[in-house]
Amino acid sequence: QRSVESMIGIPLSEVLGEQAYQAARPNIEMALSGQTGVRTHPYERTDGTRGYSRNFIVPQKAANGTVQGLVVVTQDSTEERAAAESMRQSEEKFSRAFAAGPIAMTITRMVDSVLIDVNDSFLEFSGYSRDELLGSPAPKLWVDPSARRAFVRDMRAFGSVEGREYELIDKK
């Protein structure tokens, strides 16, 4: 197994800088052993802020299978990481609001009307247990099937339905 230094003639830490070299080192070692490496790591930008870099390191092999070189692609993943973190926080807020909300709520798949989740207020209101509802068809809870169809039609058309009351069948 050849070293990167023997391939390029100088220590890789001098090419990349010590911080980048230490961050990339596990992937470099993996690639030198013949495997592709992918790793995201933090780095300090010149303005002092933290950024994130995703490195793809792919070994280039000779016909006999020995590693002759490495292809390295580096991508700034700072914005992607920030968006993912923002989405995680948003989902966490929604989950807490849904679960603790005083209004009875359900989450239903539009494609087949199957109940995905219900909050505690809905369980209290309906008398059903979560196990009895999750995975079951939501229409079974509606007194008037035509009202359900109108609700679904309006949800698809407008993205939300407000200011209406519906009669649902409770277990009580």
Per-residue pLDDT, averaged over 99-105, amounts to 92
Structure tokens at 78: 């700072």
Per-residue pLDDT, averaged over 138-159, amounts to 92
pTM of the predicted protein model: 0.58
Determine the pLDDT at residue 55.
Answer: 86
Residues linked to residue 51 through DSSP beta bridges, in sequence order: 43
Three-state DSSP state, 97: helix
Residues linked to residue 160 through DSSP beta bridges, in sequence order: none
Determine the pLDDT at residue 153.
Answer: 92
Dihedral sign, Cα of residue 99, residue 105, residue 106, residue 110: negative
Q: Given the structure tokens 């052993």, which residue do they identify?
A: 33
Instruction: Answer yes or no: is pLDDT of 70 > 70.
Output: yes
Residues 6+ apart with CB under 8 A from 25: none
Determine the pLDDT at residue 110.
Answer: 86
Distance, CA of 12 to CA of 43 (rounded, Å): 17
Cβ(50)–Cβ(43) below 8 Å? yes
Per-residue pLDDT, averaged over 113-139, amounts to 94
Q: Return the exposure string of 59-80: e unless at least 16 CB atoms fall within 10 Å of the residue's CB, then b.
A: beeeeeeebeebeeeeeebbee
**24-46 pLDDT tens trace:** 788 888 888 899 988 888 888 89
Helix (H), strand (E) at residue 117: strand 115-118
Q: Which of the four pLDDT bands, split at 50, 70 and 90, describes residue 1?
A: low
Determine the pLDDT at residue 2.
Answer: 67
Max Cα–Cα distance, the chain, nearest Å:
80
Determine the pLDDT at residue 28.
Answer: 84
Q: Which of the four pLDDT bands, split at 50, 70 and 90, describes residue 69?
A: confident
Q: What percent of the chain has pLDDT over 90?
A: 59
Per-residue pLDDT, averaged over 134-161, amounts to 93
Strand order in the sheet with 37-44: 37-44, 50-61, 67-76
Structure tokens at 97: 């609001």
Cβ(49)–Cβ(21) below 8 Å? no
Q: Which of the four pLDDT bands, split at 50, 70 and 90, describes residue 82?
A: very high
State which amino acid sits at residue 20. Answer: A
Cβ(123)–Cβ(130) below 8 Å? yes
